[in-house]
Amino acid sequence: MKRSNPMEHFVEIKVRGYHLDVFGHVNNARYLEFLEEGRWSAFEAGFDLQQLAVKGYSFVVVNININYRRPAFLNEVLRVATQLKRLNHRSGVIHQAITLKGSNTPVADAEVTFVIFDNDKKSAVPLKGELKQYLERL
């Protein structure tokens, strides 16, 4: 499902010394943490993971494809944009983009594929009906 007017959520992250590797730029693995922070912030803004947990479901990331566009350095402020790209029958895709604050300079972008996992049945559930409507709020 493609949304005609997708909502984006933004969070800013300042690059700290502990984010850096021996080359003085953000370590590639840290970008996954920045993306995760963006998703958590988006969830908090209008999507309650606890409500899923009460129903016996978990939000599970099953794949991340990330493109590194430019290194990020100490004290730069990164802007992480998060939006739901599409919902399929049993999975969904969230698009995330990291840019330098105050510019359109791309730092990294990613497509994050997720499923909603039924904890009792130990399998992904179809994204339909009330669950689909709930996810569309992301």
Q: Mind telling me the catalytic residues? A: 21
Rg, C-alpha atoms of the chain: 16
- Give which of 33, 28, 37, 57 is closest to 130, Cα–Cα: 57
Q: Phi and psi at residue 131, in whole multiples of 5°?
A: -65, -45
- Give which of 85, 81, 115 is closest to 101, Cα–Cα: 81
d(CA 5, CA 99): 21
- In the structure encoding, which two tokens stand for residue 116, read together? 């909603």
| SS3 state of residue 138 | coil
